[in-house]
Amino acid sequence: MPEQSAKKKTDRILEEVQKHIEEKKIVDVEEKKVKLVIFKLGNEYYAFLGDDVKKVLLHKEITYVPGSPAFIRGIISVSGDIESVLNIHKFLGLPETQITKNTRIVLASDGNIRSGVMVDSVEEVTDIPKSAIESPLSTFDETIKQYITGEVMYNHKHITVFDIGEIFKNITA
């Protein structure tokens, strides 16, 4: 009799384990993923949400527009369309860097506003679970914090995710 009871207990535990595995599978399938375009500014890693990024361009000649604010590098032609290029280092108050062969222009948009953003390099475009993005730390400088949508650890790198909409909103306000 005790043997039978023990067997039942084993069955019950196994059933529960199986159920847990099934539930986890469902959660895994349903977990929403977001695309991140990961880039570097100086030695730090940042990202834009993939939905906000239209193209990643090699660095090209930028035409400075006299009279424009210091955080606008100028304009470029992208397949015949004129696009602005944002100097995000200056906008965020980060140290300026040299243009290198790794420099890229990330063409981002939010609603009706679109602009290129010059970054030091684009490291990766990847999908991550949305839940992996955590709220930004309170240690960030207030000027930068308002543009951060969250933070994520990815491949042992700490990545700060920008909200391009907030950046554009501040510029056009």
Q: Given the complex with other proteins, which of 100 and 172 has the nearer CB atom?
A: 172
Q: Given the complex with other proteins, which of 68 and 143 has the nearer CB atom?
A: 68
CB of 147 to other proteins, least distance (A): 15
Interacting residues of 70 by C-beta distance below 8 A, sequence separation 6+: 87, 90
CB of 17 to other proteins, least distance (A): 55
What sign does the CA torsion over 136, 147, 155, 44 have?
A: negative
CB of 88 to other proteins, least distance (A): 12
CB of 166 to other proteins, least distance (A): 14
Q: Given the complex with other proteins, which of 76 and 152 has the nearer CB atom?
A: 76
CA nearest neighbour of 117 among 43, 63, 35, 55: 55
**What is the DSSP code (8-state) at residue 56?**
E
Interacting residues toward other proteins by CB under 8 A:
63-68, 72, 75-77, 80-84, 86, 112-115, 168, 171-173
CB of 113 to other proteins, least distance (A): 6
Cα–Cα distances (Å) from 79 to 24, 96, 109, in that order, read 46, 28, 16
Q: Given the complex with other proteins, which of 41 and 76 has the nearer CB atom?
A: 76
Q: Given the complex with other proteins, which of 52 and 83 has the nearer CB atom?
A: 83
DSSP code per residue over 88-139: HHHHHTPPP----TT-EEEEEEETTEEEEEEESEEEEEEEEEGGGPBPPPTT
Phi, psi of 88 (to 5 degrees): -70, -30
How many whole angstroms separate alpha carbon 73 and alpha carbon 57? 15
